[in-house]
Structure 1
Amino acid sequence: MKGLFPCGELAADAGEEHRVTGTGRPATFDPEGARLHMGVDPEGFRRIFDCIWHEVAKRRTLLDEAYEAGDMTSVILQAHTIKSSAASIGALGLGRAAAAVEEAARDGATDALAAAMVRFHAAKETLSRLVGLG
């Protein structure tokens, strides 16, 4: 992971799961695993990551707008797209949070959706800090 992002090795962060825990918990962020899966060099992965991160940022805005408007069809679509995009770049915690939003919206579970949106934004903020991007 060193060299890909300014965070270097991941350090513990309030309540988040991390790549190097030794506890068997799933990773929050595993860019090296994603890079190896893609079969690209670190610079190539960084370019891919930046492109996908930019797209995810647009989708986050669309997700928030859909949620505020009560448009569950769009919430499901945006959350699903973020989930897939996040997984492709190793942003597993963000992907899991987006999956929870998608599931709650699909189920029409208003309280669960509100809680999932809070967790989604927390996961986004954690990842933003880890990679040094807004």
Structure 2
Amino acid sequence: MKAMYPCGASLPEDVLSVFDPEGARRRMGVDRAGFGRVFEHIWREVSERRTLIDAAWQAGDFKRIGLQAHTIKSAAATIGAEGLCRAAAAVERAAEAGDRQALDAAMAALRTARETLCRLVGIQQR
């Protein structure tokens, strides 16, 4: 996976509300290359968790959904993917509440947030 990291670029406010790589990089105290390596590692983790959350959703296993969503939420926050973090938090809340209707909507929002982040950083989706 070769992504284009917009670190250092002046990003519009609407993009920063979804993805703030420069803010995440500063919080981590790493240079741009270091952030790129962290991003790559975390993105692999998010992709694996997304596969697990999809399988748990298909099985109707709300506990596993909540666990995977919690991990995605934390990983997304680390890399400044605020939109993905918010979407994962909504999935986690819906799963914990056992609310299938809310979970369906939250899962759709999670897919959209992931797609948006992929477009922003130039990652080909699988």
TM-score clears 0.5: yes
The unaligned stretches of length 5 or more in structure 2 are none
1 or 2, which has the higher helix percentage?
2
Write the distance in 1 (CA, Å) between the matches of 2:112 and 2:36: 23
The amino acid across from 1:4 in the alignment is: Y
Quote how far apart the aligned CAs of 1:11 are: 5.8
- Structure 2 residue 34 is the aligned partner of structure 1 residue 44: yes
The equivalent residue for 1:85 is 75
CA displacement 1:110-134 (0-9 Å, x = unmatched): 1010000001100000000001113
Structure 1 residues 9, 122: CA separation in 2 closer, same or farther (over 3 Å shift)? farther
The equivalent residue for 2:121 is 131
Quote how far apart the aligned CAs of 1:47 are: 0.4
- Structure 2 residue 43 is the aligned partner of structure 1 residue 53: yes
Write the distance in 1 (CA, Å) between the matches of 2:29 and 2:72: 22
Aligned-residue CA RMSD (Å): 1.7
The equivalent residue for 1:121 is 111
Write the distance in 2 (CA, Å) between the matches of 1:10 and 1:128: 16
Quote how far apart the aligned CAs of 1:56 are: 0.5
The equivalent residue for 1:23 is none
- Structure 2 residue 64 is the aligned partner of structure 1 residue 74: yes
The amino acid across from 2:36 in the alignment is: R
TM-score (norm 2): 0.89
The unaligned stretches of length 5 or more in structure 1 are 20-26
Write the distance in 2 (CA, Å) between the matches of 1:92 and 1:59: 17
Write the distance in 1 (CA, Å) between the matches of 2:111 and 2:10: 22
Structure 1 residues 126, 10: CA separation in 2 closer, same or farther (over 3 Å shift)? farther
Q: Is the 8 A contact 1:28 1:91 kept in 2?
A: yes
Quote how far apart the aligned CAs of 1:74 are: 0.5
CA displacement 1:26-79 (0-9 Å, x = unmatched): x11000000000000000000000000011000000000000000111100000
Number of matched residues? 120
The amino acid across from 1:81 in the alignment is: T
Query: What secondary structure is seen at the aligned counterpart in 1 of 2:15?
Result: coil
